[in-house]
Structure 1
Amino acid sequence: MGLDFNFNIVKDNPRIALACTATIIVLFVGFTLLFSVVGGDGLLEVPPNNISSHVLDIANGKPAFAVNCTAYRWMKPESGDKNEDGMWVELAVTTTNGAGRIPLVHPGTNLSVGIYKLRFATKQYFEQQNQQTFYPYIEVIFEVDDIRKHYHVPITLSNFGYSTYKGQ
């Protein structure tokens, strides 16, 4: 049993048709703005001490949507042997939202002091734009020295160059 709606009311009354159209537009714009601001991650609780990122496609003048980012942490062996090298341990794979943002690159993992790496799949992104790139991926390695802080890693990206810095 479904809801029956008499479309003739809308068809025969221009004011109702206009009101329905305006309501649909307002809802669409509202949800679009909401999801561009929170990036569809509105249900994700983001701790104040985290690592976030933002990727801007400066070649095309827009946020870089749907860039996969893999977060890693450098782990030393538990043996304590100083001659033994450590290894990168994958924490999570996340994707930039419509605003080019990743509010939390390590969901499910608490921030700890150490060396981290973010790997951005730029070739995959530019293939989606039907463009070539010189960099198949970008890796940014940085150190977290205070777990009470927020660390933001922005990327300005073009097909043949990129830049990064410690953001706020």
Structure 2
Amino acid sequence: MNTLSSHVLDTTAGAPASGIAITLTSPNGKRYEGETDEDGRCKTWGVERLAAGTYSLRFHCEEYLLFHHGKSFYPFVDIHFILEEDGGHYHVPLLISPFGFSSYRGS
């Protein structure tokens, strides 16, 4: 069984980014909504089981960046990734700033 979590960190402020809406899109095109908590984390998507396949996370970061930094070059960030059959837990962090972003497979 696969599980998924995410964490958004604001590298300009050096702090978690709370209140960022995230859309998870499954291999069959079904969408699930989440939002980062006070610690910048999102662990629940409204789906219990994530099958193997190619997924995407869309981080709707423009509103957050405009509010906290007055500028946002990126209205959203899309990250596509592959979940393997019985791959276990997947963690997809996002590091953002008004003019850059980075991601990696976390633990």
Shared fold per TM-score greater than 0.5: yes
Shift of 1:89: 2.3
Aligned residues: 107
- The answer as to whether partners of 2:7 and 2:36 remain within 8 angstroms in 1 is yes
Query: 1:89 aligns to what?
Result: 30
Distance 1:109 1:131 in 2: 37
Q: Distance in 2 between matches of 1:127 and 1:73?
A: 29
How far apart, in 2, do the equivalents of 1:51 and 1:161 lie? 24
Structure 1: how far apart are the matches of 2:69 and 2:15?
A: 15
Question: Structure 2: how far apart are the matches of 1:141 and 1:98?
Answer: 25
Aligned-residue RMSD, C-alpha: 1.5
Please tell me the residue identity of whatever aligns with 1:97: D
1:144 aligns with 2:97: no
For 2:95, the aligned partner's letter is T
Please give the TM-score of this superposition, normalised by the length of structure 1: 0.60
Aligned positions of 1:36-47 closer than 5 A? none
Q: Which has the higher contact order (CA 8 A, sep 6+)?
A: 2
Alignment gaps of 5+ in structure 1: 1-47, 76-87
Larger radius of gyration: 1
**TM-score relative to the length of structure 2:** 0.91
CA distance in 2, matches of 1:59, 1:69: 20
| Amino acid in structure 2 at the alignment position of 1:60 | A
Query: Counterpart of 1:66?
Result: 19
**Distance in 2 between residues matched to 1:117 and 1:133, nearest whole Å:** 21
1:118 partnered with 2:57: yes
**2:30, 2:53 → 1: CA distance?**
12
Summarize deviations over 1:39-64 as a string: whole Å, max 9, x none.
xxxxxxxxx83110000000111100
Q: Please give the alpha-carbon distance, in whole angstroms, between the structure 2 residues aligned to 1:147 and 1:73.
A: 16
Q: Determine helix, strand or coil for the equivalent of 2:65.
A: helix
Task: List per-residue Cα deviations over 1:80-115 (Å, max 9, x = no partner).
Answer: xxxxxxxx321x1111001000023x2234110111
Q: How does 1:130-141 map to 2 (within 5 A)?
A: 130-141=69-80
Higher share of residues assigned helix:
1
Task: Find the aligned partners of 2:5 and 2:84 in 1 and give their Cα distance.
Answer: 16
What residue is the counterpart of 1:40 in the other structure?
A: none
- How far, CA to CA, are the matches of 1:163 and 1:63 in structure 2? 14
Mapped contact 1:111–1:147 kept (Cα < 8 A): no
| Stretches of structure 2 lacking an aligned partner (at least 5 in a row) | none
